[in-house]
Structure formats: C-alpha cells, structure tokens
Amino acid sequence: MSVKEKGYLTTEEVRALPQYPTEEDFKRGPMAVIECPQEIPCNPCETSCRFNAIHVGKPITTIPQFTGENCTGCAVCVTRCPGLAIFVVDKTYSEDMATVTFPHEYRPLPKKGDIVDAVNRQGQFVCKAEVLRVLNPKAFDHTSIVTLIVPQDVVDDVRGMKRLPRD
Ligand code: SF4
Ligand code: SF4
C-alpha cells in the first residue's frame, strides 16, 4: 500500500528516504529527520533553517534534501513545518537511551520529568517515556515542541505522545 493510501510512513520507509541522516550524522548529535516523501509546493523547512541544512530550491515541489553536517539539531524547522513532518532525533543521549523531539499542539502541555505514553506514527502506544524538555517560546508561534527520552531501539518509531487529560 502506498504512503498516500495508508496515510503514514513506516519506520522502514523513513529510514529509506534520501533525506534520512546517515550513521555518521547521528554520531554527531541531534539531527533533523525529515519525513516528507511527496512532491508538494512547500518550503518553510528550507527558509527556517539558518544553517543551510535543508534545501528545496526550484521547483518548490522538490522533495527536501538534508545536509547532516550543517544540522545543529536546533529544532526550529520542527516548529515551521506545516505538515508536522520534521523531528529531531538524538542517538548520542546515552548508550541505551536516545531522545526524540516532536511538535505537540495539544493542551495541557506536559512538564519536564513527567512520564507519558510515547506513540508511533499511527498514534499507537510504544512505551512509557520521560519528558526531557518542553519548549514553547514566542518565536515558535504557538507550536510547542516536546522532547522524550526513549530506548535507542524505538527512537525511530516514537513520533509523539498521547494527549494528556484536561484538568
Ligand atoms: S534542526 Fe535546526 S539546523 Fe537542523 S535542519 Fe532543522 S533548523 Fe536546520
Ligand atoms: S516544510 Fe515540511 S511539509 Fe513542507 S516541504 Fe518541508 S518538510 Fe515537507
């Protein structure tokens, strides 16, 4: 089944994307993972990255290209992508654990130290995870980002968290 038909990418499909960071990239630290496989007229990822790590160019429907050597893992692109298709993965966090940063547009926001339910691209439970940080500065224009600490072997699977219940 195509990505268009099923509406999500599998972990294997993400790893096969040309813009997926290399092993060497991941050894340097936090890296943007751009899960955008379709030719759509869109380029805020490119214009928001002041380190020239993302290139769309012309035509604007070109699939984003990624240059891992330029990526600092700042996560600004995560907050700018209208498709919520960019994540930052840090496989250098510790030997056993890695971190994944994703946009989270639901209230209430979690807090550092909370234990939450980490979910995959289909919203299915993957594991319990500790919240490392939550960032919501004005510059992010109401798109908060959450970073979870998860086991290394599921960091390419976790792409979000279950919404917290309202008070
Ligand atoms: S994480 Fe920062 S440096 Fe890396 S691609 Fe995104 S905006 Fe550029
Ligand atoms: S901003 Fe997001 S949806 Fe648009 S081209 Fe970049 S990665 Fe794809």
The response to whether residue 77 sits with its C-beta less than 6 Å from ligand 2 reads no
The closest residue, in CA terms, to atom 3 on ligand 2 is 83
**Averaged pLDDT score across all residues of the chain:** 95
pLDDT of residue 1 exceeding 80, the answer is no
The response to whether residue 83 sits with its C-beta less than 6 Å from ligand 2 reads yes
pLDDT tens for each residue of 3-57: 778 889 999 999 999 999 999 999 999 999 999 999 999 999 999 999 999 999 9
The closest residue, in CA terms, to atom 3 on ligand 1 is 71
The closest residue, in CA terms, to atom 2 on ligand 1 is 74
Pick the closest to residue 151 from 110, 103, 93 (CA basis): 93
Measured in Å, residue 7 CA sits from the centre of ligand 2 at 16
Atom of ligand 1 nearest to the CA of 54: 5
Query: Residue 15: its pLDDT value, please?
Result: 97
Entry pTM: 0.96
The closest residue, in CA terms, to atom 2 on ligand 2 is 81
Query: Residue 23: its pLDDT value, please?
Result: 97
* Residue ranges of E strands in the chain: 31-34, 54-55, 65-66, 86-90, 97-104, 115-119, 125-135, 144-151, 160-161
Tell me the three state secondary structure of residue 9.
coil
Query: Residue 12: its pLDDT value, please?
Result: 96
d(CA 157, CA 21): 15
Residues with CB under 6 A from ligand 1: 32, 48-49, 51, 53-54, 71-77, 88
Write the DSSP symbol of residue 116. E
Radius of gyration of the chain from its Cα atoms, rounded to whole angstroms? 15
pLDDT tens for each residue of 101-121: 999 999 999 999 999 999 999
Residue ranges of domains in the chain: 3-160
d(CA 11, CA 151): 15
The token pair that represents 16 in the structure block: 């096969």
Which neighbouring-strand residues pair with 161?
118
Residue 102 contacts residue 146 (beta carbons within 8 Å):
yes
Residue whose structure tokens are 């996560």 = 75
Measured in Å, residue 15 CA sits from the centre of ligand 2 at 17
pLDDT tens for each residue of 122-133: 999 999 999 999
Query: Residue 6: its pLDDT value, please?
Result: 83
